[in-house]
Each structure stands twice: as C-alpha cells, then as structure tokens.
Amino acid sequence: MTSPKYFINWTTFKKSWEDVTVAHWLKYPNPFSNHVLSEECFTSDPSRVQDVVERRVEDGKLCTVRFIVKKQRIPASLMWMVPNRHKACYVKETSVIDPVNQECTITTENLNCRFISLVIETLKYKGVKMCETVMERRTLISSKIDRIQNYTFERYQKNIVNTDKGMMCVLGLLDECQRQGLTGHLA
C-alpha cells in the first residue's frame, strides 16, 4: 500500500470574510467548473430536489452537509474498472461557519470510487483584516495503486488554478451585483 500524498497551499483574497464565505456557497456554476453537474441530490420524494441534506446551529456555528455531483474524471484507460453506477462522482461537503471568529471550514470527500482513489480536501477561510481573507487548503489523496495516486495528485495540482479562478470569478460577480444593488445584504 502506498503512503497518501498531501497538498497544502494558501490563497489570500482581498475581500472580506463575509464576501468570501458567501462566494463559496455561490461558486457553482462558474466558467471554470464545467465538471460540476449539480449541487443537488434527490430525496425520497423524486419531485423534491435539494442540495442541503442537514443544517443545524451548534455553539453559535452553522453546520451544513450537502452533496455535489461532478463528472467522473477517470482516464478512459481505467473506466473499465468503474461500474456504471459510478459514472458520476458524488461528493459530500461538510461546512462549519463560525461568524464570531470569522472562520469557515469546508471538507469535501468523494463518496464513490474510493476503491480507485480517495480525495479529502479541507478549506479553511479565515478573516484576517477588514478586507482580507486567507484560505488554507489541505488535501489528502490516496490510492492503493501508485500510478493512480500520482495521476490524481498531478491532476489535482493542475485543477487548483481553475478552482481559484472560479472563486475569483464568483467574487467579481458578487461585487458587480452589490454595485448594482442586486444583492440586498447577502454578506
């Protein structure tokens, strides 16, 4: 068995913690995320669609669990290993928003295809100044097969650029909406 790989980086947004936290919730769709099919899952009532499956307030913190559906990004040469029910990638996102300490922690993990690769990403947004938010990204990538783990890790590193561009795009749209008075008080 191979040792997991870890990816860690930091990004500074010249935006308030409130704006960055709101932008995270609004980040799909954006021009850099065409692999995201939906932020929704179906409940037992097929006429009712929801993305948030749990939300509660605990010690003044908003805790939320939601599901996101993405296109499966497995190389064509490995698709034979993937059963039809796993052609999409189902991701669980758990977030804890702490407005008192201006911290928002979001953990995502793939729910299917774990027999191929497991990716757990934790983003921690922290307000550090009036208009500055630091995001720390810590990601664990593991697979029982070295080649798959290396492929997943390299692809993840390349995709981070688009992930951050997508976030900046949504922050720009949020700014524009606020300038035009279209948001009320989102943040």
Over residues 155-169, the pLDDT tens digits come to 999 989 888 888 888
Residue 58: name the closest of 30, 100, 2 by CA.
Answer: 100
Q: Identify the pLDDT of residue 21.
A: 92
| pLDDT > 60? residue 48 | no
| pLDDT > 80? residue 71 | no
Distances (CA, A) of 42 to 59, 64, 93, 114: 30, 17, 16, 22
Class at the top of the CATH hierarchy for domain 5-179 = alpha beta
| pLDDT > 50? residue 50 | no
| pLDDT > 60? residue 42 | no
When pLDDT is cut at 50, 70 and 90, the band that residue 83 belongs to is low
- Contact partners, residue 23, CB within 8 Å, separation at least 6: 15, 167, 170, 171, 174
